Amino acid sequence: MKNKRRWTFPLNTAIWMSVSLAGTAVLSGCATKQPEVKATSTGWVKNQVADAYTFGFPLVASDIARERASGRAGQPGQTPLNTFRHANALPPAGAPGWASVDTLESSAWLDVSADPVIVTLPAAPRGRYLDARAFDAWTNALYSSADTTPYPKMQLIAFVPAGWTGTLPANATRVETRTRYVWLSVRVRVNGARDVREARKLQTAMRIDTLTPAKGSAADPTPVVSGAWPANGAKQPAVPPLPSALATIAPGAQAEALDANAFFARLARSLDDNPAATDDSHAISQLADLGVKPGEPVQFKKTDAPLLDSGLADARERLETTPPNAITKNGWTWFGDGVGVYGTDYTLRAYLARRQTATSTKEGEVKPVTHVDSEGHALDGANAYTLHFEPEQLPPVRGFWTLTAYTKDGALSDAKLPRLSLSDRDRLKKNRDGSIDVIVSAKSPGRAQTANWLPAPEGQFQLTMRLYAPKPQASDGSWAPPSVERQ
């Protein structure tokens, strides 16, 4: 029996985005109807390009990530849409991208255009952390099981288009998305290479189905919401292919490497499938002034090139600057309020999308990072450092915490090290007063301190602390990691 399917809001994207954006400091200025007036108002039009780039950056990075990850079965590194791809081993030495060495990830790109997508996840065994996170195509957080419990029971999650009115299984958690594509990441904790086999048992129990087959009836090719997205097979504007030389770098870095034509062409195409929020109507209007419209080809004039290049340069510099709402203490920087639920904070959203395609909410994870010691000098494996945790001041979490040393570019050390991280499961040696000193160095500090030693890469490096399911004092900054003291 078919579900009754209809929109609960108008189909025209321009009408759907009619609510004005109020009070934003990111996309500001008076709109212009004719971009050709650049010669007499180059200052604010250049800012308009920078603002448009900042606004659209997360969607472009997300689109690149999806394109790289989803494809035909059997293609290296790719899986079809609505299909899990499981990491079945811990990352190797030298792995780039700030790889986690304490979790196995199962990820999938979901497409809700033809039918709601039903995800089934097994219950986490006693003491086994498991977190399912989902993000829309703009990198906004839609769902995180760790927000409520880091050790969940069996989960049945239904991803549906916003406004969908059909019937779901009675025990399913409904998660609405305004974007056609959703990125799902499920992380399972592992305690070293010997524990991978146990974590993989959970991976084999994970399932993705569409609603119609899940109900036991024949497949239904009718789109779940008529007119929501371009019909299957509909011709969309072409975008320049991604340079093969950039295939191994992170999606955010790939997005940043695109020129104006390639960037805005991809943005226009992606907007057709993944419309902006209602509060983004002013941003969409600014894009239209530049000639960037959902589903339409982007054709800049050759004479626009210097202005576009200047605007992109300004935006890239903006994305290199730590946003003012970051928490900075003892040389560490991390984010709490606003992460994952960005509203119109486009700068924060783009800043994090540049570094990580999707970032969880403050209830799901916080990630303090430092590159410097207590005197402001770059961390270097030639030195030895101490992190002194006062009694009862280890990272406050409902789940677990880890501390990992990466190269300055975010790669794991390529040397064979006795361990790649320290965590709450390690039997750290306490001082007489109950405090704990963690030693970070490339060379062993000796047998007496081995239990508290985190090996560091040679040369400059950075430290990343992950707090999975943190307690409020970690996400509001009332607790902070200790400063890194050079010995």
> DSSP of 56-105, one letter per residue?
HHHHHHHHHHHHHHB-STTSTT-B-TT--EE--SPPPTT--S---SSEEE
pLDDT of residue 287: 95
39 and 91 co-located in one domain: no
| Residue 306 included in any domain | yes
Choose the final residue of a domain: 257, 292, 320. 320
108 and 207 co-located in one domain: yes
On the question of pLDDT at 221 being above 50, the answer is no
| Dihedral angle, C-alpha 134, 341, 99, 89, nearest 10 ° | -20
**Band of the pLDDT at 192, cuts 50, 70, 90?**
confident
**Band of the pLDDT at 186, cuts 50, 70, 90?**
very high
* Angstrom distance (rounded) from CA 291 to CA 299: 7
Please count the helices (runs of H) and the strands (runs of E) in the chain: 10, 20
481 and 424 co-located in one domain: yes
- The per-residue pLDDT of the chain, averaged, comes to 86
Q: Which of 118-132, 218-232, 290-304 has the lowest mean pLDDT?
A: 218-232
| Residue 328 included in any domain | no
373 and 481 co-located in one domain: yes
* Angstrom distance (rounded) from CA 461 to CA 440: 11
Residues 400-420 as b/e (b if ≥16 CB within 10 A, e otherwise) read: bbbbbbbbeebbbbeeeeeeb
Please give the residue that has the higher pLDDT: either 468 or 12. Answer: 468
| Residue 339 included in any domain | no
Choose the final residue of a domain: 254, 286, 320. 320
Backbone angles phi, psi at 466, to 5 degrees: -110, 125
pLDDT of residue 357: 73
210 and 246 co-located in one domain: no
Which 3 state secondary structure label does DSSP give 255?
Answer: helix
| Residue 330 included in any domain | no
Backbone angles phi, psi at 369, to 5 degrees: -135, 140
Domain CATH code at residue 444: 2.60.120.600
Element (H, E) at 201: helix 196-204
Q: How many domains does the chain have?
A: 3
pLDDT of residue 329: 96
The whole-number average pLDDT for the span 165-183 is 95
130 and 187 co-located in one domain: yes
454 and 428 co-located in one domain: yes
From residue 122, alpha-carbon distances to 79, 98, 156, 203 in Å are: 21, 27, 9, 8
pLDDT of residue 27: 36
pLDDT of residue 240: 75
Task: Give Cβ neighbours of residue 18 (< 8 Å, ≥ 6 apart).
Answer: 278, 281
On the question of pLDDT at 148 being above 80, the answer is yes
Domain CATH code at residue 95: 2.60.40.1610
**Band of the pLDDT at 33, cuts 50, 70, 90?**
very low
pLDDT of residue 71: 66
pLDDT of residue 14: 34
Which residue type is seen at 201?
Answer: K
Taking Cα atoms as reference points, which of 325, 332, 327, 376 lies closest to residue 481? 332
Which 3 state secondary structure label does DSSP give 468?
Answer: strand
Q: Which of 149-158, 227-236, 361-370 has the lowest mean pLDDT?
A: 227-236
Q: Is the overall model pTM greater than 0.75, yes or no?
A: yes
On the question of pLDDT at 288 being above 70, the answer is yes
Choose the final residue of a domain: 214, 244, 260. 214
28 and 107 co-located in one domain: no
Question: Do residues 345 and 448 touch, judged by C-beta distance below 8 A?
Answer: no
191 and 243 co-located in one domain: no
Which residue type is seen at 334?
Answer: W
Task: Give Cβ neighbours of residue 455 (< 8 Å, ≥ 6 apart).
Answer: 405, 413, 417, 418, 419, 420, 441, 442, 444
Instruction: Cite the DSSP H helix spans in 301-442.
Output: 305-320, 346-355
The whole-number average pLDDT for the span 131-146 is 96
* Angstrom distance (rounded) from CA 343 to CA 218: 40
Please give the residue that has the higher pLDDT: either 182 or 231. Answer: 182
Span 307-318, pLDDT tens digits: 999 999 999 999
Taking Cα atoms as reference points, which of 184, 115, 182 lies closest to residue 145? 184
DSSP label of 325: T
From residue 428, alpha-carbon distances to 251, 278, 437 in Å are: 37, 50, 9
Please state, for a pLDDT cut of 70, what percent of the chain lies above it: 84
Residue position matching structure tokens 């800049």: 300
From residue 289, alpha-carbon distances to 37, 232, 293, 309 in Å are: 11, 29, 9, 17
* Angstrom distance (rounded) from CA 53 to CA 45: 12
Which residue type is seen at 247?
Answer: A
40 and 89 co-located in one domain: no
The whole-number average pLDDT for the span 278-303 is 93
pLDDT of residue 194: 86
22 and 141 co-located in one domain: no
Span 320-358, pLDDT tens digits: 999 998 999 999 999 999 999 999 999 999 999 998 777
Describe the crossing of helices 42-69 and 346-355 by its angle, rounded to 10 degrees: 40
**Band of the pLDDT at 477, cuts 50, 70, 90?**
very high
* Angstrom distance (rounded) from CA 423 to CA 196: 17
| Residue 351 included in any domain | no
Half-sphere exposure of residue 339, counting CA atoms within 13 Å on the CB side?
Answer: 28
pLDDT of residue 72: 55
| Residue 219 included in any domain | no
Residue position matching structure tokens 């036991």: 216
pLDDT of residue 466: 97
Residue position matching structure tokens 């290199």: 320
- Enclosing domain of residue 38: 13-67+234-320
- What tokens appear for 336 in the block? 């709490």
| Residue 459 included in any domain | yes
| Residue 224 included in any domain | no
According to DSSP, the residues that pair with 210 across neighbouring strands are 117
pLDDT of residue 228: 53
Helix, strand, coil share of the chain (percent; to 5):
25, 25, 50
pLDDT of residue 74: 53
